[in-house]
Amino acid sequence: MKAAIIHPFVVVFCLVAALNLYGQTAMPEPNWDRSLALRTIHKDDTQATLKPLFQMARAGSNQELLDALSAIVQDPEILAPAKDYTVFSFTLGLSDLDVNSVSPKVLDFLSAYEAQTLVAHDDHPRMTVPLFNVRAAAAGVQNNWDRQLAATRATSLLQEHPDQWVSSYLAASLAERRGFVDSLDSAPPAALRELGWSALAQLDEKPELTLVTASAAMNSGDFELLQQSISQGNGPGLSRVLEDASRKLSTEESVELLEHSLQLGSDTKAALAIAQLAPALLDEPAVRKILFGTLADRNLGAAAALVLGASSNPEIQAQLIEIASKEGGLARQRAEMAISTGRANRGAEL
C-alpha cells in the first residue's frame, strides 16, 4: 500500500527534475548585455570581413567559403558579438544573390550555427534569445530560394503540363506553394481560367486550393469563379483572398462580393468579408446600410461595429451616436463599442 502511495510522488519528482533539466538546456542564462554587445560590434570592421565572403559566394568557391566562415567562428581574437553579427549579416545578404548561389553545405553550416551572444528578451527578461539569430536567417534564405524556384517551375507547368499544376501544388512545401501562387500574377488569362475551374472542382475535398482558385479568378478577371471560390472555399486562405480582392477589384465588384459573402450562411465568411472589404467601401450608401443594419446581429454586429468605429467620417460617427442614445439592445451596445473603440484608436494615433 505504501509503495502504491509513494509511487506517484516519485513520478512527479522525476518529471519536475527532468523539466528543470530541460529548461536549463533550452533556456541558458544571458551571457551578454545587449547594449554592450552592440557597442562591441561597432568597434570591429565587419564590412572588411564580409566583402571577401560575398566574393567567394558569387564565385562559387564553397569550400573556401566554409573554411573562411569556420575561421571567423574559431578566431579567439574576435569577440562573440562580432562573430555572430558577421555571420548573421552574411546570411541575410545571401537573399540578394542568385538562387542556390552557395552549396547546401554552406546553408547547412549556417542552419546549425550556435549563437554565442545570448541576451535577455526585450519584452520578457526571463527569456534568453540570441542577439543575432543566424539559424532563423538561414531558414529565411532557404524559404525564399525555394519560393523562387517553385514560381519558375509553376510557370513552366502551366505552359507545358497544366494538368500537373494542381497536384504539384498540393505536394509542395509551404514556401513552394507561395511560389506557385506568385506565378499566377503573370500567367495568361485563358490558362488561369482553366486552372481556376480545375482547382474549383477539387475545392470541397482540398480546401487548401482556395487561394489558388481565387488568385486565378482575380488575375484572369473571372468574377464568377471568384464568387464560387469563396462560396466553396475554406481555411486560412480565405482571409488573404478577401484582402487581395479589396485591392484588385473595382468598387462595384467589391460591393457585390461583400453582398455575396453575407448571403452564404457562414458567419465566418461574412465576418471576414466585412473586415476585409467594407473599410474601403464606406463611401458607398449600400455598404453603410448593410453595416448599420448588421449592428444588431448577434454574430456579426461586432465586426460591423469595428469597421464603423474606425471611420473618421462625421456622418458615420453621428449615426453611431444617434443609435447609442436612442435605440436599445444589441444595436445600442455595438454602437457604443464602435464609438469607444474608434476614439481609443484615434487617440493612440496622436
Sign of CA dihedral 286, 288, 291, 294: negative
Reported as a single tens digit per residue, the pLDDT across 193-246 is 999 999 999 999 999 999 999 999 999 999 999 999 999 999 989 999 999 999
pLDDT band at 348 (very low <50, low <70, confident <90, very high): low
Q: What's residue 27's pLDDT?
A: 62
**Alpha carbon distance 137, 114 (integer Å):** 13
pLDDT band at 347 (very low <50, low <70, confident <90, very high): low
pLDDT, mean over the chain: 89
| Greater pLDDT, 2 or 339 | 339
pLDDT band at 346 (very low <50, low <70, confident <90, very high): low
**Alpha carbon distance 107, 116 (integer Å):** 18
**Alpha carbon distance 240, 7 (integer Å):** 53
Q: What share of the chain is helix, strand, coil (3-state, %, to 5)?
A: 75, 0, 25
| Greater pLDDT, 270 or 40 | 270
**Alpha carbon distance 227, 221 (integer Å):** 12
Q: What is the DSSP letter of 233?
A: -
Reported as a single tens digit per residue, the pLDDT across 78-117 is 999 999 999 999 999 999 999 999 999 999 999 999 999 9
- Average pLDDT for 156-184: 96
pLDDT band at 22 (very low <50, low <70, confident <90, very high): very low
Domain ranges (residues) in the chain = 29-132, 282-350
Q: What's residue 349's pLDDT?
A: 58
Q: What's residue 12's pLDDT?
A: 31
pTM: 0.81
- Average pLDDT for 147-157: 97
Q: What is the DSSP letter of 88?
A: H
